[in-house]
Every structure is written in C-alpha cells, then in structure tokens.
Structure 1
Amino acid sequence: MTLHPPASPKNVCEELLMEEKRYNAEHHILPSERAVADRLLARALEMTPAYEELHSKLHQHPHALKTFLGLVLTAAALWNPEKIAEARNARSELTKVNQQIAKQAAELAELLQQRSDLGNTSGFRTDTHYHVCDVIQASAQENHGFKYYVRERLEDLQRQFDLKYWPTLSDFAHELARDAATAVAQASDPLTAAATAASRASLADFFKALFVSIEENSARSYGLLPHGLQISDSTFAILVNCALDLDADSMVDSPYVKRLRQREREGAK
C-alpha cells in the first residue's frame, strides 16, 4: 500500500479556498469573494508563511481554518477601503436626509395647522383628512395584515375616544420633525462600527473590521474559532496585503500592524 505524505499547510489552505470558490460559482453567489480568493491564490508564495501559521493554530479545531479563511474573503469583499468609503458616505447622506426631513416635516406641521385654523374660522373647508386614524387607515389600504388584524381594533378605539384624545395631524408632523432633528446615525453592527469609528479614513479601518470579525466568530461569541486565538502581526500583514492586492507602494509590514494593535489596546482601556 502506497502511503501519501500529509498535505502541506499551503495545499490545505489553497484547497479550502478553491472549494469556497467552486461552491460560490456553482450557486452563482458572492463573486466579490471569489475575486479575493483568486488574489490569495495568485500570491501563493507570499501567502505561504501565513498559511503555515494559520494551519498550525487552527487545523486541530473542526472547521476553524475554513472559517478563518472565509472571514478574510468576506472582510476583503465587503470591508475593503472602497466599501468602507461607501459606508462613510452613506452615514453622511443619512444625516443630511434626516436634516431635510426635520426641515420639511416642520414646514408641513405649520401648513397642516394653518389649514386646520382656516377650516375652523373661514367658513370654508376641504374634504381632507383631519384625524390621525383616518390617515393610518388610508395609507394601510394595501396592507393585508393591517386590514385583517388591526383595522377593526383601531376603528373601535376611534369610536371609543373622540378627537380630543388623539394627536392632531400637525402634532404628528411636529413629532416627525423633532425625531429627525435629534437623530444620530449609528452603526447597526460591530463591523460597521469598527470600520467607520475613526475620524479620518485609512487602511487601519479595514484591519479593525477584520479584527472584530474574528472576535465575533470566536468561541467566546459561540463561533468556531478557538478562544484566545493569537495571530502574529506578520501574518495579518500578509493576509491584508494579498487579500486587498496591495502594490509595493501600499503594502504594510508587521511593525505597522503591531503599532495599530497597540493603539487599539490603548484605546480600549
């Protein structure tokens, strides 16, 4: 019987990457992650020391090596500098939209109050909504859940309590204005928070997102990566250089990663 030597860490890791590529291609999903896998495979010589460290620390933990490599693919696809810039722009745009809503809702509130005053004093009126429940019902005409489960109860409440117990349409618009004016754009997940926390954009944003992604998938967070996993600065530098396909002028080294991690630890104190 012929005995085959065990596969090298490089071969093991590259097979996991190719397996991920095949699965995504067969299911027509995640083309951006396939592109990242191609970058890692194309820079095999640079990646070899990183593969050796990752394999030595993760191969004894079921699915941990595949999980870690998958996190690198996802982070480079979704949280690369271009995507992080888009996220920062979206945050700014959300703030601007809320400012516009606050301004226009306040103006609408004044107009609604003016219409109500004219209807009560001028001897003229228009056949328009005057009760907030009427607006709710009219706007929910295509909402089948509302029609079958909410409408009848709302009508009962409207009959039970007359107009003085309900906010006016102007009150409603004023609240929309107040709500938008005081709103603060906040990240909806830890990766977005990490990647956009700094006041100025830099490559460090991507590292922060990758660090958080690893922490979110650790055993402490009920993930598949072993608790207390320590990856060297040099391996992180290699992973980011290759996953983002950085050229010689943009590449980072282990001292860069060491300084970044030190700043992160000091900031967390």
Structure 2
Amino acid sequence: MQCSVENCEREASYKAAKLCKMHYFRVRRNGTVVKTPIGRALRYVTPNGYITLYKPGHPLANKTNCVFEHRFVMWPIVGPECRPCELCGLPQTWATCHVDHIDDDRQNNTASNLRILCRGCNVKRGFRPESHEFRSSVGLIEFEGRRDTATAWARDPRVNVSGKTILFRKAAGASDFEALFGDKVTHNGRKPIPPPRKTNHKYERSNAVAITIEGHTMTAAEWHREPGVTVSVRSIVNRIREGIDPIDAVFARPGKKPIADDDLKALTALYRAKTKELKGRAA
C-alpha cells in the first residue's frame, strides 16, 4: 500500500492511517502532514498546559516566533492598544496584561472564555468569592453578607477557632454560623479542663511530707539537718506515715522509746536557740 499523501511515493507503514512513517509522525507532532519551517510544530502544548502557535511576524510573537493561543485569539478583539483590567479598571498594555481563562481550562481558548486582567487581579482572582468558587468540598462560608474561605474567616477577631476546625464543622453538617461561632470544645466533645496550678512550693510536691513542730513547718529533709536530730530522712517519713507524733518522729533516736517531757523541753529550747542564731546571722 502506498502513502495517501499526494506526491509521496513511500510505502504506507501504518496501514490504518494509510501513511508512511514520515507523514505519520508529522501528523502526531504537528496535527498536519504539511512540513513546518525548520521542523517546528505549528501547534504545541507546553508542559504547564498552555497552547502555543507558530506565527512568524505576529506582533505578539516571541524570539522563537511563537504566540500563546489565548493571546493570539484576543489580539484582533482587543486591538494593539489593549484594554484596562476587567476587574479593577487598571490601564494595561500587551506587555503588562494577563489573558485569563475564566473556567481555568488553559486549553479552552474561545473568545468567550478569555478576558484581560492585570497581574494583581489574575494572581488573586482564585481567592475572590465573587469571581471563583472556593475549591474546598464545603464551599464558601457566609455571614452578614460576607462570603469567604474558612482560612480567611479564622483571621476575623470575632472567630475563636481555626480554619481547619471551621471546615470540619461544615463537613459535619453545621450551619455557617455554628461553624464560625460555635462553642470551642476539645476533640472528645468535653469542655477543656484547665491545667493544674503550677507551683514550686516544697510542701505541695506529691512525695513531700510537711511536719509542723512549735508552729514551724518543714520537710523531713529540712528537719533532718536541724541540730539534735539523729534520725534519717526516710525514718522520719516512715514515722509520720505510721501516725507517730511529729516531735517523737523527728527527735527520738533510732530504736528508742518516745521522748520524755524533760528531754522534749530541752530539745525544744535547743531548737529555738538555734533558730534565733540563724535569724541573727541572716539579718
């Protein structure tokens, strides 16, 4: 079988298309069997999805003689002088304007789907509720005539929850008002419990034992360092936990019976004298 292209005498390597190898791949590259200058495609889809056309001599052509199809379509409609931005009215030229695809389809280059925007409006239009629908599954959130995204509402000083929480509430079926201003609760549905009061007080530690003698309160370790005390810290703690009187727990020698009244008076007097001496040094 011979190639179906006129004046081509090569054998048709691709029977279904009735084309030889050269014309078959030319159609794959360029969409036509016509040879393009220097092997360039007449129509090419860029990696980011835009379509370029090979148009040597066109006013909008770049150094490679290519023009974006959406700009090529708008050129005869807008004219060489361009037009102001269709959203904010800022004057534009072809060097500064952006040709925007209204439906976000970069290959839909029909004139009704194109418009002239300034750079700022083209960049921000995806965040404008009046021009584009929010791409989240829950849509935009409206309150008092304002329609905005959950992230934007979270920045409002009246809203006390994060944008993610707003989205979760909307996905769960809450109304716009409930999603924005509902009571803040923890993930398990209970109100948050305030953390315990932080303290460095030595008697409030979980393992501390406060011992009060003659109006003075100290821990077992502090009583152990007092003059006349020969009992270890552990022994003092064990005695207190066994219910022994604080004076006997601190001053009774190991293995001895409870202190007699006379000995208690002597030890108490010694303790008071030592306390006065320490206070005098501190002063």
**Which structure has the higher relative contact order (CA within 8 Å, separation 6+)?**
1
Q: TM-score range by the shorter chain?
A: under 0.3
TM-score, normalized by length of structure 2?
0.18
Give 1 or 2: higher helix fraction. Answer: 1
TM-score, normalized by length of structure 1?
0.19
